[in-house]
Amino acid sequence: MLEQWYSLTLKPGPRSALILDVSESAKPFWPVLRSLTVGVLESLPADSWPEIFFLGNPQPFPPEEFVAKAESWHAANAGRGSIITPILEELAGEPNRAVAVVGSGRIFDLPDWSDVAIARHAIWCRYGPAALTEGIYSEEAYTVEQLAEKLNNPAVRVEVSGTGVMPFFWDDPTFRWQLGLLAGTKTSGSLLLGILSPAPEQASARAVLANGSEQILSLEPAEAPPPPEWRELPSREDNLLRQALRQGRYACPACQQLHPAGQWRCTDPAATPNFPTLANTVGGFAIADTSAWQTRVRLHPCASLQLKPDAVAMHMADGAEIIRFDGQSWQVSGERMRPIHSLEERRYVLVL
Ligand SMILES: [Zn+2]
């Protein structure tokens, strides 16, 4: 089993494109197209504004100047033919861009693009009776709100998976591993990942965009983080932990009753915590080393913890499970971890 470290940098998704029809057939609808565009820009945050195109012209126009320059841009582009090829050629390099075409009347060269993803995924917004795509794609007269929502195509989550891949470390607690997939809603910044897999470079990462399309993210080789510091467990907590280790339960100083190992807090929610040193809101695991006179502990900063080359513990809402490699893939065995799991001689994983 190979242990590999990666870092993942999350970038904003590609900018969307709004293509305005300025052909003769769309001329009566220009005021509608203009106010629709202004409405879309007003309802989207500036970093989600689409680039503006005029049908027939591959040059993008900056959206921040649209309100001031719409009329002069329209005059300069009006009467261009209903030809989309120059723009789609420009946009096809980034197939995940959300593209909307707004206009009226047939786009003559669209049949040339009928099998191409960027045209298939485009949003066709039509005003007036004359179809844009002659029935190749569905067309609707979208409202400002509908069009803005379709053009706003941010990344909504990030996923990491692969054949034989098991993440055993990540540095963002909002990520969760489930059904073979590490997923989180973080979509900017960076993520450090520790991956186990029998073969190298099996892991892949992608951002899932709001419109359902995916953007492949690159995994860069990275260094393992330094392990968390050991700290000494204060005598009072050490005594309680050693009772729990020996007898599977301990006498609670708050209520004087016996609590089973794993119930690290008193049942009385108002009681002072019995193990304040073990408060770990991020990972849910601590490693305890009892080989010295005073127990040392270190809090594990992730919900996933490698137990053996082929076994990983995963902290869930109610305890922890062991996930094992069966020679081909990682299997959730349904095996619950005991609250004190023996790792090696005098060293234990505590499920918090
Ligand atoms: Zn108690």
List, as ranges, residues with CB under 5 A of the ion ligand 1: 252, 254-255, 266
Distances (CA, A) of 58 to 15, 19, 65, 97: 15, 10, 18, 15
CA of 270 to the centre of ligand 1 (A): 10
Lowest mean pLDDT among 8-12, 81-85, 92-96, 298-302: 92-96
CA of 248 to the centre of ligand 1 (A): 15
The residues that bridge with 61 in the sheet, in sequence order, are 52
- Domains of the chain from N-terminus onward: 2-11+154-221 (2.60.40), 17-151 (3.40.50), 231-351 (no CATH)
CA of 38 to the centre of ligand 1 (A): 63
CA of 287 to the centre of ligand 1 (A): 23
Buried b (16+ CB within 10 A) or exposed e, 300-336: bbbbbbbbeebbbbbbeeeebebbbbeeeebeeeeee
CA of 317 to the centre of ligand 1 (A): 22
Q: Model's pTM, two decimal places?
A: 0.75
Contact (Cβ atoms closer than 8 angstroms) between residue 311 and residue 325 = yes
Report the Cα–Cα distance between both ends of the chain, in Å, rounded.
28
Q: How confident is the model at residue 153 (pLDDT cuts 50, 70, 90)?
A: confident
Provide the percentage of residues in the chain whose pLDDT is more than 90.
Answer: 77
Q: Is the model's pLDDT at 97 over the cut of 80?
A: yes
CA of 322 to the centre of ligand 1 (A): 29
- Give the tens place of pLDDT for each residue, 249-287: 999 999 999 999 999 999 999 999 999 999 877 779 999
CA of 266 to the centre of ligand 1 (A): 4
CA of 232 to the centre of ligand 1 (A): 23
CA of 236 to the centre of ligand 1 (A): 15
Residue 121: predicted pLDDT: 87
CA of 251 to the centre of ligand 1 (A): 8
CA of 263 to the centre of ligand 1 (A): 9
CA of 276 to the centre of ligand 1 (A): 14
| Dist CA 20 CA 262 (whole Å) | 63
| Dist CA 337 CA 319 (whole Å) | 7
More confident residue, 97 or 313: 313
Question: What mean pLDDT comes out for the span 65-77?
Answer: 96
Contact (Cβ atoms closer than 8 angstroms) between residue 319 and residue 328 = no
CA of 315 to the centre of ligand 1 (A): 24
CA of 219 to the centre of ligand 1 (A): 47
CA of 241 to the centre of ligand 1 (A): 14
| Residue 239, both tokens | 């005594």
CA angle 320, 323, 324 (to 5 degrees): 150
CA of 249 to the centre of ligand 1 (A): 11
- Give the tens place of pLDDT for each residue, 208-253: 887 777 888 999 999 999 999 999 999 999 999 999 999 999 999 9
Distances (CA, A) of 95 to 58, 121, 214, 324: 16, 9, 10, 38
CA of 267 to the centre of ligand 1 (A): 5
Q: In whole numbers, what is the pLDDT of the chain averaged over residues?
A: 92
Distances (CA, A) of 338 to 13, 114, 263: 43, 58, 11
CA of 5 to the centre of ligand 1 (A): 42
CA of 233 to the centre of ligand 1 (A): 20
- Of the candidates 319, 311, 231, the one whose C-alpha atom is nearest the C-alpha of residue 275 is 231
Q: Is the model's pLDDT at 14 over the cut of 80?
A: no
CA of 253 to the centre of ligand 1 (A): 7
